[in-house]
Amino acid sequence: MPLTGVMNKCFAFGNWAVSGPLFNDDSVARELELVSGATKYINWKSPTGELFCVELPHTVYPPREDTSFLAKNLLKLGPGKRRKCLEIGIGSGVLSLFCHRQGWQVSACDVNPLAVACARQFLESNHAADVEVREGGIGPENDGKIEQWSPYDSYDLIYWNMPYIREVGDQQAHLGPFEEAALIDTSDTSLISLTLLNIRNFKLLKKTGLAMLTVGEDYDDTELINLCVRYGFAGRVVDELIFADGEKLRILAVWHPFHSCPLVHKDVVTSTNLELLHNDWPVGSSLAAQHQTNGRGRYSRPWVNAAMLVACSWKIMLPDKLTPATTQIILGYLVKQSFESVKRKSKETEVVLKWPNDLIILTPEKSGKVSGVLVESVSIGENTTTVAGIGVNISEGRETVEHNFSIGYADWFSDQLTSAYIQTQLHCRMASVFESRMDLASMNFTAIKKLAFSAIKNGFMASSIVSYRNEPMTFRRLNDDGTISLIDSNETEVIVGDGESLDWSF
């Protein structure tokens, strides 16, 4: 069946079915049939207006809307200035030529030998013979050793117009194996996971580098960021393309979090927030400690040091779109995500985001505050320094900590929540949301704010009683500025800001 209309490699073909297991004996005949067929000529217009004509066999993926979508985002990165970039899955070769035109030193690979041959011919005919194209790449099993398809130690830019059609059970062969390799993710996990694993393990991305991957709808934004964080990267969805049928294609940007400002660790500090606020640390700096001698929470309450804890602070630029109160809610949500990235000890154990900035561990037997968040700012003239501090109790240890409230510990939830694990999780998630880079679009705070606000609402639902000034209240809504609207027994609405306290029962 010939390909008709506009088709994006990341989405199913409507009534099309794909063949069964890839590269099996039955598909060989289909592949030979396609290879022996006539080539086709495809025109592609780059974002700069340049028109290219490429001759392709049927088994090489042609440039389409997804190609132009990725090219548009590559153009936003500016001149390459002879920096090194790697294209995975070169296909027709138009994106490699486009990046070459923008001044990048391009290397590329593809598992399809016909695509390699076609791309080499196309590049040579367009005065780009210095683009290195190699056979091999990332797949369900790597095709060739890393030295075969990625000869450099690391790259300033890695990009891949990734295949994201999922296999269906139809055994009728409509596509040849090389077509399927370009169109379908057949891995047991996902090609995103495999790609991030390869980038990390082989150190393919420079500390200052950026990876850009096209992704379909198999994962929502939260799942994509979770995958990035799992492998020690920051991640952000920076663009979206919506097709006529409503399907979406996105650009996932991946990078090393706060590469110029690594996470500093100290055993003991007065307060991680105070050290960042009153010393000349650049934006993006972060400090973690196992003990604070003068740690503080809301209303300058002293921070209670558990036997094992982690206190982390980051110097950030407070976005204009966020109030400090809303920022604290988002930070609490990032901690909640970090907890939920591991397998919990019991299905009945929950971590709840309690307004305005605390995390509560709920087990069938007990509950307690496991984490708190504090955003502080200092203004000198027109300059404002903002620090986001997060404290997490890891373990109680042998000695009982004196306190006047219920303390919870991360090891109630999971033994995987060690200090090192939580620090890494938070470092990557903080960068994903707050880090500013010249080559990155700003964070979509509307999306994460919606998720964080939903978690706050669920926190109210998890509480048996919420009281304000000794009167039981019913939660009505969380307002845009981070305040909450409550209803008293007379159905009167009361608006409460984060400077006031509620009494909670779980």
Q: What is the pLDDT of residues 339-376, one digit of tens each?
A: 999 999 999 999 999 998 899 999 999 999 999 999 98
| Rounded Cα gap, residues 108 and 148, in angstroms | 11
What is the model's pLDDT at position 355? 92
Say what the pTM is: 0.86
pLDDT in tens, 308-340: 888 999 999 888 888 888 999 999 999 999 999
- Residue 324: Cβ within 10 Å count: 17
pLDDT band at 304 (very low <50, low <70, confident <90, very high): low
Tell me the percentage of the chain whose pLDDT exceeds 70: 82
**Rounded distance, CA 118 to CA 106, Å?**
16
Contact in structure between 60 and 91 (CB atoms under 8 Å): yes
In this predicted model, which residue has the larger pLDDT, 443 or 138? 443
- Residue 37 is predicted with a pLDDT of 62
Lowest mean pLDDT among 3-7, 208-212, 290-294: 3-7
Work out the number of other CB atoms within 10 angstroms of the CB of residue 190: 18
223-227: list long-range contacts, CB under 8 Å, 24+ apart.
224/192, 224/250, 224/252, 225/429, 225/432, 226/337, 226/341, 227/190, 227/192, 227/193, 227/196
Helix 419-434 crosses helix 221-230 at what angle (to 10 degrees)? 130
Query: What residues contact 79, with CB distance under 8 A and at least 6 apart?
Result: 102, 103
pLDDT digits (tens, 9 = 90+) for 110-123: 988 999 999 999 99
Shortest CA distance to 65 belongs to which of 8, 4, 2, 13?
8
Half-sphere exposure for 497 (CA within 13 Å, toward CB): 5
Domains of the chain: 25-255 (3.40.50.150), 263-459 (3.30.930.10), 462-505 (no CATH)
Report the first-to-last Cα separation within the chain, whole angstroms: 61
pLDDT score at 262: 73
Average pLDDT, the chain: 84
**Is the pLDDT reported for residue 453 higher than 80?**
yes
Question: Pick the residue with more confidence: 41 or 300?
Answer: 41
Rounded CA separation 484/494 (Å) = 8
When pLDDT is cut at 50, 70 and 90, the band that residue 1 belongs to is: very low
Per DSSP, the residues of 274-317 read: HHHHTS-PPTT-EEEEEEESS-B-GGGPBPP--SEEEEEEEEE-
41 in Cβ contact with 63 (< 8 Å): no
- pLDDT of 400 over the 70 cut: no
What is the percentage of the chain residues whose pLDDT exceeds 90? 56
At residue 15, the pLDDT reads: 27
Give me the residue label for tokens 């496991």: 370
Q: How confident is the model at residue 77 (pLDDT cuts 50, 70, 90)?
A: very high
**Residues 171-199, mean pLDDT to the nearest whole number:** 62
Which of 21-35, 40-54, 128-142 reaches the highest mean pLDDT? 40-54
pLDDT band, residue 303 (cuts 50/70/90): low
